[in-house]
């Protein structure tokens, strides 16, 4: 289980800062899974708000706990893939910023949480997906086959009449990339996760999205091992939201009415995934 501590360690010289007021964001319409705040005293659950997505960052792992974003037709345009991987200079002063050069040679891809191709409306939107706070060390076959297939399928769900909410994260320690098994990279500053998960919520286009959930709303939950031998077919990695919550300690879809949560979070989706 991922522990999200709320106190700052003694290895930072930052002066304590008050917790920020949680900004409104379409990317957190379905809830803030870990109660993250933009507060230097929560280094393992630090909220970063971008126009393109929201995330909870874990300073000591050097990766996000989760990234959440809304996907609609207007997000899909003609901007090309920028490939401009970069450290995130919005992290608090004194925190290590994972570099674009931190992953190459490790045997793990710089694996996007919010995918580049989900943000092609503008060059700025696409560039935002290449911030290293949006990355995890991901086994190449997991990234380029398994998750690429699900990402491609997700975009087929988006239309003038349909929108999707996506929450993705990782947990545990230790994966197997093209160079074999590893628990960390970048001289121990970035943790290699053991598992990678994603939850997709498919809704008709409309307003007040969290309140429009019903027991028939399609929710796809997937949890895969971070291994290079992972299957490219996601069907047998499908699980329940409840199971992901039990593994991570997160509260997913917390803004959805509780009676509906109980129903949709216990189901394993049986529809197509690619």
Residues serving a catalytic function are 112
The answer to whether 166 and 203 have CB atoms below 8 angstroms apart is no
d(CA 157, CA 11): 45
What are the residue ranges of helices labelled H in 113-271? 123-128, 140-141, 148-156, 241-248, 258-264
The answer to whether 236 and 180 have CB atoms below 8 angstroms apart is no
What are the residue ranges of helices labelled H in 47-109? none
Q: Sign of dihedral through CA atoms 121, 196, 165, 54?
A: negative
Tokens of 104: 């190459």
């Amino acid at each position: 289980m991922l522990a999200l501590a709320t106190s700052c360690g003694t290895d930072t010289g930052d002066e304590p800062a008050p917790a920020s007021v949680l900004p409104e964001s379409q990317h957190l319409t379905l809830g803030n899974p870990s109660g993250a705040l933009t507060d230097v005293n929560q280094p393992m659950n630090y909220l970063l708000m971008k126009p393109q997505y929201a995330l909870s960052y874990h300073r000591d792992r050097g990766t996000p706990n989760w990234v959440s974003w809304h996907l609609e037709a207007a997000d899909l345009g003609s901007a090309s893939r920028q490939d401009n991987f970069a450290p995130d200079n919005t992290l608090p002063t004194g925190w290590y910023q994972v570099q674009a050069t931190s992953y190459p040679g490790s045997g793990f891809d710089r694996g996007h949480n919010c995918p580049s191709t989900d943000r092609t409306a503008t060059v700025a939107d696409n560039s935002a997906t290449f911030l290293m706070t949006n990355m995890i060390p991901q086994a190449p076959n997991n990234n380029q086959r398994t998750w690429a297939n699900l990402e491609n399928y997700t975009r087929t769900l988006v239309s003038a009449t349909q929108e999707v909410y996506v929450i993705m994260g990782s947990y545990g320690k230790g994966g197997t990339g093209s160079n074999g098994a590893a628990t960390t990279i970048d001289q121990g500053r970035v943790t290699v996760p053991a598992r990678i998960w994603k939850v997709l919520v498919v809704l008709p286009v409309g307003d007040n999205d969290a309140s429009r959930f019903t027991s028939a709303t399609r929710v796809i939950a997937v949890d895969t091992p971070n291994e290079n031998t992972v299957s490219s077919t996601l069907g047998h990695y499908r699980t329940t939201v409840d199971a992901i919550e039990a593994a991570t300690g997160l509260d997913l879809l917390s803004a959805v009415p509780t009676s509906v949560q109980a129903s949709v979070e216990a189901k394993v989706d049986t529809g197509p995934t690619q």
